[in-house]
Chains A and B, each alone.
Chain A
Amino acid sequence: MSTPKPTPQKAPQMPADTTDAATDAAAQFVARYQAESPAREAWRMFRRNIPALVGTAMLLLIIGLTLYGTLIYTGDPFDIVWAPHEAPFVEPDFPLGTDYLGRDLMAGLLSGGGPTLAVGAAAAALTMIIGISMGALSGFYGGWVDNLLMRITEFFQVLPALLFAMVLVTLFSPSLITIAIAIGVVSWPQTARLTRAEFLKIKELEYVTAARAIGAGNGRIMWRVILPNALPPLIVSATLTIGVAILFEAGLSFLGLGDPNVMSWGLMIGANRDYILDAWWPVTFPGLAIFFTVFSVSLIGDGLNDAFNPKLRER
């Protein structure tokens, strides 16, 4: 891993009499092993991971379709445009058929992706913000701070997550924002525990003492010294949280607690679930969309995990 020292002994072909030439050669030697940041090194590892690349391509395709698909394939997903339960791949105007009200499934799928992904990403971001703050404070300060914050964390951890999220959504009117908040509020404890564990481990390391010795204060040590070193597992966890949050959103919508004014994949499944025996396609296509999205996010998370922990891979 470490760059060989550019010493004259190691490169006997270098003219030893002129120091300038030796320095030049040493500089070239150094240049070949050009500085590689840990982040870039992880990226290099990630690039070699085929499943992770497939996942990335898949997710980019899905994001692209939901962002630009509706520009090409126009049409309101709530409009009743055709006879109900038109089978897919029959009518060229409605390639995926229609649902029980005669709404275009293709339009629903394309415009429902955006809200689904947005809620997933927002919920994951909220999870990370709450989880990292709580975990960092309790791991760093220890003592009564740790005790208090960890009891709060455990309180949230023992609540049945979906039930609690349902209560939150019912209390406040269901909208994309309240759904994202509800998911974030129920899923942060895991992140908090992970962050706390990393902080407990890293705060004992010598470079933290060294940072204190040059006069760094608590805040700087927490956010500039320890957190960057704790990030790899947190990034992996954040990626996987996006997948979980998308499933959560789908679950809430399926139970009828989604935002009724915004088309989402969960809402499509929820609305059509009563007719599943008459028509398989209105629930299958959004289901597959959710499956492939979560699958691709998981592949990326796995790839990141491998990239950040090269030691875990057996090669």
Chain B
Amino acid sequence: MSALLQIENLQVTFNTRHGQVTALDSVSLSVNAGETLGVVGESGCGKSITALSVMGLIPMPPGRIAGGSIKLNGEELVGASDARLRGLRGSEVAMIFQEPMTSLNPVFSIGDQIAEAIMLHQNVSYDQAFKDAVALLDRVGIPSPDRRARDYPHQLSGGMRQRVMIAMAVSCRPKVLIADEPTTALDVTVQAQIFDLLNEIQRDFGAAIMLITHDMGAISEMADRVAVMYAGRVIEEASADQVLDTPQHPYARGLIDCIPALGKQETELREIPGVVPPLHMLGQGCAFKARCAHARPRCGTEKPLLRSHGAHPVACHGAEEGWL
């Protein structure tokens, strides 16, 4: 069985002034139609690079896809021609960005922008595309859409702009929708509305969603499956319930421990000590070893691989040997 979007052993490198660094190291992920895959991790873990790789938007140079494959519906995207990728973007794979404030072109009305996106992939007149745009705005819950379509981005609130971005992203009924921290810049109340909308859209369109976030609350609300990333590698992958209830990797446990629980009296918020190491200073062994309370000598010499040890796949020597 092959998934709608299948990423295998994806290797992405960047040339920096510290030499070549590996931003993604054998990342394998898959999403099926109608399914939501959550990709979690701290800033700088490679979540956004994974998303941009799928879109074919890695800046090259300095970036380079050094190996692996990305298959969309069985079609190989790594090494596909620019024209082919351009045809796929928007129509087959679409992306919602983190900052709705800056992801819309300020000099065109929102209806214009959505109509433009439609006309890029469908052979329709401007009038028809604009009508479709108004219908989409209505679909994503913008009040009086026919009037709002003539508004400019600066006249909308953050939540409304994100709705517009969603309308634009689904305008050509893409099979895969990548949402890169779609609610990070929004109010908590608006976040819930956006998640509801994404869920509805998924039900209507049957799209596969890849939700990139560092918010475990978003994961519990949206995701069917979760991949935890750290320093450019997938370190744990399982169903959302499994990861939330019985996380294996010390990093995944740390992330879940960081969620402040309602009702519990806690004076201090928990955190994972330390920061993600810079990619040019990873060295040998497990990338998490310096921040891990359970690290043993083996962690410093041998890179743990993503393997299933009973419960679900995890890349940790401790989980493998049972000394966590």
A36 to B: closest C-beta gap in Å = 7
Whether B105 and A211, one on each chain, are in contact in the complex, defined by CB atoms closer than 8 angstroms, is yes
A207 at the interface (CB under 8 A from B): yes
Whether A214 and B168, one on each chain, are in contact in the complex, defined by CB atoms closer than 8 angstroms, is yes
Whether A206 and B94, one on each chain, are in contact in the complex, defined by CB atoms closer than 8 angstroms, is no
Residue interface bits A1-20, CB-to-B below 8 A is 1, else 0: 11101100000000000000
B160 at the interface (CB under 8 A from A): yes
Taking CB atoms, residues of chain B closer than 8 Å to A160 are: none
B260 at the interface (CB under 8 A from A): no
Instruction: Find the B residue at minimum CB distance from A3.
Output: B155
A92 at the interface (CB under 8 A from B): no
Given A37-B109, A211-B105, A229-B107: A1 and B91 within 8 A (CB)?
no
Whether A213 and B157, one on each chain, are in contact in the complex, defined by CB atoms closer than 8 angstroms, is no
A229 to B120, CA, bound (A): 20
Taking CB atoms, residues of chain A closer than 8 Å to B156 are: 2-3
A27 at the interface (CB under 8 A from B): yes
Partner of A30 from B97, B148, B168 at Cβ < 8 Å: B148
Partner of B87 from A31, A213, A215 at Cβ < 8 Å: A215
Residue interface bits B95-114, CB-to-A below 8 A is 1, else 0: 10101001111111100000
Instruction: Find the A residue at minimum CB distance from B83.
Output: A217
B55 at the interface (CB under 8 A from A): yes
Taking CB atoms, residues of chain A closer than 8 Å to B151 are: 3, 35
A229 to B: closest C-beta gap in Å = 6
Partner of A27 from B57, B88, B143, B171 at Cβ < 8 Å: B143
Q: Number of residues in B with C-beta < 8 Å to the partner?
A: 40
Taking CB atoms, residues of chain A closer than 8 Å to B120 are: 214-216, 220
A205 to B101, CA, bound (A): 11
B3 to A: closest C-beta gap in Å = 21
B238 at the interface (CB under 8 A from A): no
Instruction: Find the A residue at minimum CB distance from B165.
Output: A210
A308 to B: closest C-beta gap in Å = 11
B252 to A: closest C-beta gap in Å = 29
Partner of A225 from B102, B105, B150, B155 at Cβ < 8 Å: B105
Chain B: residues with CB nearer than 8 A to chain A?
55, 57, 86-91, 94-95, 97, 99, 102-109, 116-117, 120-121, 143-144, 147-148, 150-152, 154-157, 160, 165, 168-169, 171
28 residue pairs of the A-B complex, CB under 8 angstroms, read A1-B154, A2-B154, A2-B157, A6-B143, A23-B143, A26-B144, A30-B143, A30-B147, A31-B147, A33-B155, A35-B150, A37-B107, A38-B106, A38-B152, A207-B105, A209-B57, A210-B104, A210-B105, A210-B165, A212-B55, A213-B89, A214-B90, A214-B94, A214-B120, A217-B86, A228-B105, A228-B108, A229-B105
